[in-house]
Structure 1
Amino acid sequence: MQFRKAEVGETAAIAAMWHKGWHEGHAAHVPGDLVATRTIEEFRTRTAGYIAQTTVLEVDGQIAGFHMLEGDELYQFYVATDFRGSGVAAALMRHVEETLGGRQAWLACAVGNARAAAFYEKCGWRQAATEEYLVETADGPKAVSCWRYVKDLPPAA
């Protein structure tokens, strides 16, 4: 396993993973008008805008997962289908926590996304609130009901 900054040439691959994972985890829990905006093209545009904030986890030459950070927020976190259940998600989360160490980090999880919520709780994150979270779309921000998870992270070693 190797963590590294994402490269511009990987935008399409990261966007495809994000698109697939987002639809699997969120489509059943968010308004239909938001689902309609979540096209592969939108994910490519969003990925390109966040590529400098993206870290990939590479396993045997393949991108097994990625995370995007925005300040104290774990903005995006996805694992490729073929790597789920392999320990990649736990390794990726440890990397997030080490990177954000020394502060209280947070993330938003769509209300109803029980699989993601269970993973975050297993990693020691705690649900602090339910709130309206503004997600970006090509048509402007849209409010989504989310669970806010937080974790006080020790300083990086």
Structure 2
Amino acid sequence: MTHAIREATGADLDPLAQVWHDAWHEAHAAHVPQELVDLRTLADFRARLPLMLPDLRTAGAPSAPLGLCVIRDDEMQQLFVAPAARGTGLAAALLHDAEARLAASGVTEAWLDVVIENARAIRFYQREGWRLGRRADMALDTTEGPGTFTLHVQIMTKPLHSAP
């Protein structure tokens, strides 16, 4: 299945916040400290999305997105899809779009972090050519401010090649 990846718009922010909230809780809530789960409210996701808009891509009908992907500097920062889009190739399409955007900006090696216990995500990224790197403490952004929560995560990396 082919997915049309597009820039997100303001009309996408509320439904994307819901997708992000629901998918984050499904994938992470059982594996992170309760203090972080308590910070990850729908309002938290909604408040952080506008800041990501310049680097936020999605797919699906306007105002009815099925997933999101955010890059920042040399990082593939966020990748989440709605349950209805799982198994359709959307996650891979969003990831490939992120890799292409990173490479186009001159990044030669991209990185991402994943919750260590999230074996499903780690397997997905490995299938897509990402490799395990070091484990590190990451300062996460919350509505309480940038870098206000520290979490021990798995870093994964991937060499990127710019298009000729």
Give the TM-score range, shorter chain.
over 0.9
Q: Which runs of 4+ in 1 moved over 6 A?
A: none
Matched, 1:152 2:159: yes
Contact 2:114 2:154 in 1 (8 A): yes
Give the 3-state SS of the residue equivalent to 1:136 in structure 2.
Answer: strand
State the Cα distance separating 1:54 from its structure 2 match: 0.3
Among candidates 53, 56, 59, match of residue 58 of structure 2: 56
Q: Tell me how far apart the structure 1 counterparts of residues 48 and 63 of structure 2 sit (CA, whole Å).
A: 24
Aligned-residue CA RMSD (Å) = 1.6
Q: How does 1:1-157 map to 2 (within 5 A)?
A: 1-58=3-60, 62-101=64-103, 102-140=107-145, 141-157=148-164
Unaligned runs of 5+ in 1: none
Q: Tell me how far apart the structure 2 counterparts of residues 129 and 91 of structure 1 sit (CA, whole Å).
A: 26
Inter-CA distance 61–6: structure 2 relative to 1 (3 Å threshold): closer
Inter-CA distance 60–83: structure 2 relative to 1 (3 Å threshold): farther
CA displacement 1:86-144 (0-9 Å, x = unmatched): 11112222111111125100001011011111100110100111110111112341111
CA displacement 1:38-97 (0-9 Å, x = unmatched): 110011001122122101122698422210110110110011110101111122221111
Q: Tell me how far apart the structure 1 counterparts of residues 62 and 8 of structure 2 sit (CA, whole Å).
A: 16
Aligned residues: 157
Q: Tell me how far apart the structure 2 counterparts of residues 87 and 99 of structure 1 sit (CA, whole Å).
A: 18
